[in-house]
């Protein structure tokens, strides 16, 4: 197992899933945001062992993720499959590391904080070694809801999500591209990751239905939103849809508050919230606008014509703020709160 020396001081950090789409961006952002790294260890499943990953203009080798790989780590980012997280995250904690996990494995576990740092940073104080990142769609939604919750409370949310194919990983993008090429040539298309061809198509996510007819994805968004906002009884109804977009999840939401808030007041609340860029008037953000952005873009704010509820449209980069950026922001927030240094002292 190889620790790559990066800096003279900082933390010893391991990244599980270093060769995947989210892992690649996580490494890019660790460098760009100048997270204090002393040593870095790149880990993945056995099929990726031996690959080289570029970091800080250096080519670094990838090792297999095993329990022993976490020896000496202060912090471990999991950007891999749920199975790896399920089996290895407790092993990393047992060896003294703090775990920030992007998979769905730990999100709804009662003892695991589910954190968007701009929304609920205080939840980090209750961690027991593992911190979960929310679903990439949930993050964009709660970032748009939290400024409104602080001004008018929340009674109900009805949301339709428009989720990019990269939500299924790098293979999702490759499948969309293959479908587009096949359609252009008039060839038959065999979907693999998705229920139907994604080329010039919109596909409701209904491949994993619960008994009530909602999908597991829709149930996850509902439960995660409630947990992050600290509103266990909030009425949340979701329809999840996959769209032929490479990167960028969008949400159309109808929001009912406990108190009335006019459009101008709501717009100011959104514009003043850290991590949100508000588009007023007829300026509607699209996935193209978040290709290289860590912000959540919110627009199309308007009052429902028949009620006091508000409509809004939000767009976020599911690989950045929806995954890698949020994970790094959690680590940065823990460092500011002294929680990461406490962990490092225990293991040093």
The residue annotated as part of the active site, out of 127, 179, 214, 249, is: 249
Distance CA 244, CA 201 (A): 6
Distance CA 295, CA 59 (A): 30
Taking CA atoms, 142 is separated from 28, 80, 82, 116, 312, in Å, by 25, 23, 23, 8, 12
Per-residue burial over 218-229, b = 16 or more CB atoms within 10 Å of its CB, e = otherwise: bbbbbbbbbbbb
Query: Would residue 206 show up in a list of annotated catalytic residues for this protein?
Result: no
Q: Is the dihedral of CA 252, 257, 263, 264 positive or negative?
A: negative
Per-residue burial over 70-92, b = 16 or more CB atoms within 10 Å of its CB, e = otherwise: bbbbbbbbbbbbeebbeebbebb
Distance CA 30, CA 116 (A): 18
Q: Of the candidates 341, 290, 338, 328, which has an alpha carbon nearest to the alpha carbon of residue 33?
A: 328
The residue annotated as part of the active site, out of 136, 179, 214, 279, is: 136
Distance CA 2, CA 230 (A): 41
Q: Any idea which residues carry the catalytic annotation?
A: 136, 249
């Amino acid at each position: 197992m190889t620790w790559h020396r990066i800096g003279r001081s900082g933390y010893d950090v391991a990244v599980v899933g270093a060769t995947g789409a989210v892992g690649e961006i996580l490494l890019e952002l660790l460098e760009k945001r100048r997270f204090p790294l002393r040593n870095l260890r790149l880990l993945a499943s056995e099929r990726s062992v031996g690959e080289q990953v570029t970091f800080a203009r250096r080519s670094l080798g990838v090792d297999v993720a095993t329990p022993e790989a976490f020896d000496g780590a202060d912090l471990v980012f999991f950007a891999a499959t749920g199975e790896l997280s399920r089996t290895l995250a407790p092993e990393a904690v047992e060896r003294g590391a703090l775990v920030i996990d992007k998979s769905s494995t730990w999100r709804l576990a009662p003892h695991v904080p589910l954190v968007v740092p701009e929304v609920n940073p205080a939840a980090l104080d209750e961690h027991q070694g593992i911190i979960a990142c929310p679903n990439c769609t949930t993050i964009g939604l709660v970032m748009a809801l939290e400024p409104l919750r602080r001004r008018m409370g929340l009674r109900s949310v009805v949301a339709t999500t428009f989720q990019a194919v990269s939500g299924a990983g790098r293979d999702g993008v490759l499948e969309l591209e293959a479908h587009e090429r096949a359609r252009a040539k008039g060839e038959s298309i065999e979907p693999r990751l998705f229920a139907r061809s994604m080329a010039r198509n919109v596909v409701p996510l209904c491949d994993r239905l619960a008994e009530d007819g909602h999908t597991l994805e829709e149930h996850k968004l509902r439960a995660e939103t409630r947990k992050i906002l600290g509103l266990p009884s909030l009425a949340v109804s979701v329809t999840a849809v996959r769209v032929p977009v490479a990167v960028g999840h969008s949400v159309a939401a109808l929001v009912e508050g406990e108190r009335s808030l006019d459009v101008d007041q709501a717009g100011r609340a959104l514009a003043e919230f850290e991590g949100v860029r508000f588009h007023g008037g007829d300026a509607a953000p699209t996935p193209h606008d978040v290709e290289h952005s860590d912000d959540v873009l919110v627009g199309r704010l308007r009052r429902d014509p028949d009620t006091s509820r508000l409509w809004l449209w939000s767009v976020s980069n599911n690989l950045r703020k929806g995954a890698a950026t949020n994970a790094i922001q959690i680590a940065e927030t823990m460092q500011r709160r002294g929680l990461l240094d406490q962990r490092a002292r225990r293991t040093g």
